[in-house]
Chain A
Amino acid sequence: MEEPAIGEAVSEADIERALQSDCECRDGMFPQGKVSTASRRAFLRGTGFVTAAAAIVPVRAMAADDGDAPWSLPGAIAKSDYGSRAGTEKVMRLASQGGTSALTPLQAGVGIITPSGLHFERHHNGIPTIDPKEHRLIIHGMVDKPMKYSVEDLKRFPSISRIIFIECSGNSNAASRSAGQKTAQEAHGLTSTSEWTGVRLSTLLAQVGVKDGAAWVLAEGSDGAMLSRSVPIDKMLDDAFVAYAQNGEAIRPENGYPMRLILPGWEGNINVKWLRRLKIGDKPFMTREETSKYTDLMTNTGKARQFSWVMEAKSLITFPSGDMRLPGKGFYEISGIAWSGRAPIERVEITTDGGKSWSLASLQEPVLPKAHVRFRYPWHWDGSESIIESRATDQTGYVQPTKSFLTRTEGVGPTYHYNGIQSWKVATDGSVSNVLNG
């Protein structure tokens, strides 16, 4: 069979047809960052309608028809040596009250990578200013040979890169109590995925020689809170690493520059940022962040779950989601993210009738363990009120629970690890809102 041609020449008639069928695009459904119809038309005329046309017709000449400023100048490069996004792009993190965290705009995300500039933040005492030339990581305690490493030292070791989600253990806490948060960002924005590059702990621990009886490692940051957590040594030797890069460049200051501990699949807090010290010991250190905080009080018993590091399977529809408005009935691609700290995502199911029936969503390859996975589901909205939800299952067979299940089994206490199913209501006027369903 003959290979189909890739792309085709676009006629004036094609462009006119496209312009006439122009409706509000997905951008137009978002509460923020609206793109005007005029600029969309210019975009369609210019390059949007692709390949062959763009190759044949000089872009500048086409734009000039509209009397616009030239779209490009021959030989021009970006003005800055470090690029920035288009000036019309306004998607932003959302700072919490008190300024100790900022949430990722999940509703605007596509694919699985969170841009470094939109990765969520959570700090316990601000972002330290660290001179990478001065920074050191000390490894000591129950070791044969205590060592200290500069950033440059670390970079000489064999390295690994992994695409890993980090989710704050307190993510979705407010959503566990009410549906008062308008957007996916407000309700669940303390999770993000980056590619992290660094050195395996197994490599570093082999350098210092761990003594018999060692079982725990204290990880300490160099922020104002000098945040510290105890990590079992088997996790350290399994898949932990000290990262110095995020999405192909140095880690952003708010995410641990110049180095942070990455414990794939475990709650954000224990992925200690601005890492400066690892102390090997035989018992947990019982720091504030693993006793008074980051423990899960069950109000039905009064007892608290401790050392609950793994973030369990969870998913979220990001389109359509809270505070958007669908312009009318018709085709929509439901899309969202799913993740699990235990095992790769096995499947994501979608309901558009409030849980009466569920259908499989397709998962975008690659489906990586301990990373956000993008799911998609084609939906023809008939214009009636619809409750849409997603439900993730990981390869251990664990199924994302409902809110009512969690409340029944754990009470209202746990401030951490909430992973209940999120419901969005699409009203007959197309408006989408956060609701509790069952």
Chain B
Amino acid sequence: MSSTVKVLLAAAVLAALPLTVWAQQTGYGGGESYPFGTPASKADIEAWDKDVRPDGQGLPLGSGTYKAGAQIYGEQCASCHGAKLEGVRDANLPQGGGPALVGGRGTLNTPNFKQTVESYWPYSTTLFDYITRAMPYTAPGSLKPDEVYSLVAYILAEGHIIKQGEVMDAKSLPKVQMPNRNGFYNDDRPFPVRKYD
């Protein structure tokens, strides 16, 4: 059978089939409803729904200060990120040590670029989200919202982005202007794709 005939036949068959049947047969599931799975309850969702967006959506109640943050940092963060937030390289530490959190402003357009929270991160809320989900490395998820707000206040103040007296909470944190907020642009490589095949 020639390929033209095959295509014509396929088109005829497809035209004769209701779309849902075709979808089911090809496994594309276009709009088909299946009775599998169970509704996710409010409690199911709340247990995991901890992400935080730049506009502050997802930030929990609570607040934190530089002073409290300094203490928590010393106890739980300094061993990997350094007493002065300068970063540590040590093969004996998880991931070979933690990156520097401050410094590096003005280096991004040089061969000795240094990407830190201070010099590179575009959103303060990302810091809250990331510490909440992934830090400290050996006990991720163990920090309470007040502790995370405090750590964020400490790191941002050490990076000279906020003042030591500023309290961080769901209202103040999204308003923090990060130095490199406008340092990013969308993928502009050749042949930007809208369709992916």
Cα A159 to Cα B53 in complex, Å, equals: 33
A110 to chain B, nearest CB (A): 27
Q: A242 on the interface (CB 8 Å rule)?
A: no
B38's partner among A147, A239, A277, A299 (CB-CB below 8 A) is A147
In the complex, chain B residues whose CB is within 8 Å of the CB of A227: 134
Q: Is the CB of B191 within 8 A of A206?
A: no
Cα A292 to Cα B51 in complex, Å, equals: 16
Cα A239 to Cα B28 in complex, Å, equals: 10
Interface size bracket, B side: 35 or more
Q: A26 on the interface (CB 8 Å rule)?
A: no
Q: Is the CB of A398 within 8 A of B123?
A: no
Q: Is the CB of A303 within 8 A of B111?
A: no
Q: Which of B33, B45, B121 has the most CB of A within 10 A?
A: B45
Q: A383 on the interface (CB 8 Å rule)?
A: no
Q: B3 on the interface (CB 8 Å rule)?
A: no
In the complex, chain A residues whose CB is within 8 Å of the CB of B120: 292, 297, 304
B 42-64 to A, binary, CB cutoff 8 A, 1 in contact else 0: 00110011010111000000000
In the complex, chain B residues whose CB is within 8 Å of the CB of A302: 108-109, 113, 183
In the complex, chain A residues whose CB is within 8 Å of the CB of B190: 398
B24's partner among A158, A207, A292, A413 (CB-CB below 8 A) is A158
Q: A178 on the interface (CB 8 Å rule)?
A: no
In the complex, chain B residues whose CB is within 8 Å of the CB of A150: 37
In the complex, chain B residues whose CB is within 8 Å of the CB of A202: 28-30
Interface size bracket, A side: 35 or more
Interface window among A72-80, A253-261, A308-316: A308-316
In the complex, chain A residues whose CB is within 8 Å of the CB of B117: 292
Q: Is the CB of A306 within 8 A of B191?
A: no
Label chain B's interface by main secondary structure.
loop
Q: Is the CB of B32 within 8 A of A203?
A: yes
Q: B6 on the interface (CB 8 Å rule)?
A: no
Q: Is the CB of B191 within 8 A of A291?
A: no
B48 to chain A, nearest CB (A): 5
Q: Is the CB of B29 within 8 A of A297?
A: no
Cα A206 to Cα B27 in complex, Å, equals: 13
Q: Is the CB of A206 within 8 A of B31?
A: yes
Q: Is the CB of A297 within 8 A of B126?
A: no
Q: Is the CB of A291 within 8 A of B121?
A: yes
In the complex, chain A residues whose CB is within 8 Å of the CB of B91: 97-98
Interface window among A34-42, A83-91, A217-225: A217-225
For chain B residues 66-110, which have a beta carbon within 8 Å of chain A? Answer: 91, 94-96, 108-110
A140-B40, A306-B186 known, 5 other contacts, Cβ within 8 Å: A97-B91, A203-B28, A228-B129, A297-B120, A398-B190
Between-chain CB contacts (< 8 Å), 23 pairs:
A124-B134, A136-B44, A138-B48, A139-B40, A150-B37, A200-B29, A202-B30, A203-B28, A203-B29, A207-B33, A226-B141, A228-B129, A285-B51, A291-B121, A295-B184, A299-B110, A303-B185, A305-B187, A305-B188, A306-B185, A310-B189, A396-B191, A413-B108
Q: Which residues of B contact A (CB under 8 A)?
A: 24, 27-34, 36-40, 44-45, 48-49, 51, 53-55, 91, 94-96, 108-111, 113, 115, 117, 120-123, 125-126, 129-130, 133-134, 137, 140-141, 183-191, 193-197
Nearest 6 A-B pairs (CB), nearest first?
A302-B109, A203-B29, A158-B27, A98-B96, A302-B108, A226-B133
